[in-house]
């Protein structure tokens, strides 16, 4: 069990650019989740995968956001045409009755 | 809709003092409740969880929590805190579909000597 890993840990981008984050879950976990955490707030659910199927999306996930999990292994979260309001920590988690969280990717949009 | 309210945004305490971090939830269905800790620039680490059974749940690092259905509370306690317990603590409830966690806004525990 090597834990959930996320890459990159930090990303600074200019407004309007596209960014992509990667999450590698714990290998035997079928369920994978993405959350967003802004300063001073708790994490907010974005989306959920069961294997390769994206089964639930939050209304927070605007059409500029897209997530994939090809082959049910790693997942990517892409944000197109980034805005300053997208600045946040993006957390990935995997697991069933218990969710194991990765260290997060901190995005800063300038 | 389910929700979680953490009643204190900041809790300052002295080392070796007891502490209680308060959490109330709203849910119309069976609840699964969690406490997570987040150290600066790190992800979330599970302290303890309530899924069923005994209402007193013991977790890591000497923390425990009590599920109180009548008061819809799940307060976190530790009898004697250490400087190293300084962190952000989040209470969470699993959503009705069982697909996501709904978090409170967090409580900052600051332990000083």
Give mean pLDDT, residues A71-100.
94
A85 three-state secondary structure? helix
Q: pLDDT tens digits, chain B, 113 residues: what are they?
A: 789 999 999 999 999 999 999 999 997 777 899 999 999 878 899 999 998 888 999 999 999 999 999 999 999 999 999 999 999 999 999 988 888 899 999 999 999 99
Q: Does B7 touch chain A (CB under 8 A)?
A: no
Q: Does B52 touch chain A (CB under 8 A)?
A: no
Q: Residue A92, preceding bond cis, omega within 30 degrees?
A: no
Which residues does chain B have within 8 Å of residue A4's beta carbon, measured at their own beta carbons? 43
What residue has token string 């620039």? Answer: B41
Q: Does A91 touch chain B (CB under 8 A)?
A: yes
pLDDT of residue B52: 86
CA distance A7 to A58: 22
Contact B99 A56 (CB under 8 A): yes
pLDDT of residue A40: 86
């Amino acid at each position: 069990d090597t834990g959930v890993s996320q890459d990159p840990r930090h990303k600074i981008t200019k407004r309007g650019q596209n960014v992509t984050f990667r999450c590698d879950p714990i290998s035997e976990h079928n369920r994978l989740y993405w959350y967003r955490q802004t300063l001073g707030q708790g994490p907010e659910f974005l989306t959920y995968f069961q294997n390769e199927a994206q089964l639930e999306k939050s209304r927070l996930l605007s059409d500029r956001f897209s997530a994939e999990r090809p082959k049910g292994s790693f997942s990517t979260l892409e944000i197109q045409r980034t805005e300053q309001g997208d600045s946040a920590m993006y957390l990935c988690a995997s697991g069933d009755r218990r969710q194991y969280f990765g260290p997060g990717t901190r995005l800063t949009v300038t | 809709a389910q929700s979680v309210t953490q009643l204190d945004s900041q809790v300052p305490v002295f080392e070796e003092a007891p502490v209680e971090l308060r959490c109330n939830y709203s849910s119309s269905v069976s609840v699964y409740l969690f406490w997570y800790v987040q150290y600066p620039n790190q992800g979330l680490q599970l302290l303890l969880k309530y899924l069923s059974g005994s209402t007193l749940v013991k977790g890591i690092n000497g923390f425990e929590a009590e599920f109180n259905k009548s008061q819809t509370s799940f307060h976190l306690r530790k009898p004697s805190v250490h400087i190293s317990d300084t962190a952000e603590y989040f209470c969470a409830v699993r959503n009705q579909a069982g697909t996501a966690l709904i978090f409170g806004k967090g409580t900052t525990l600051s332990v000083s000597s």
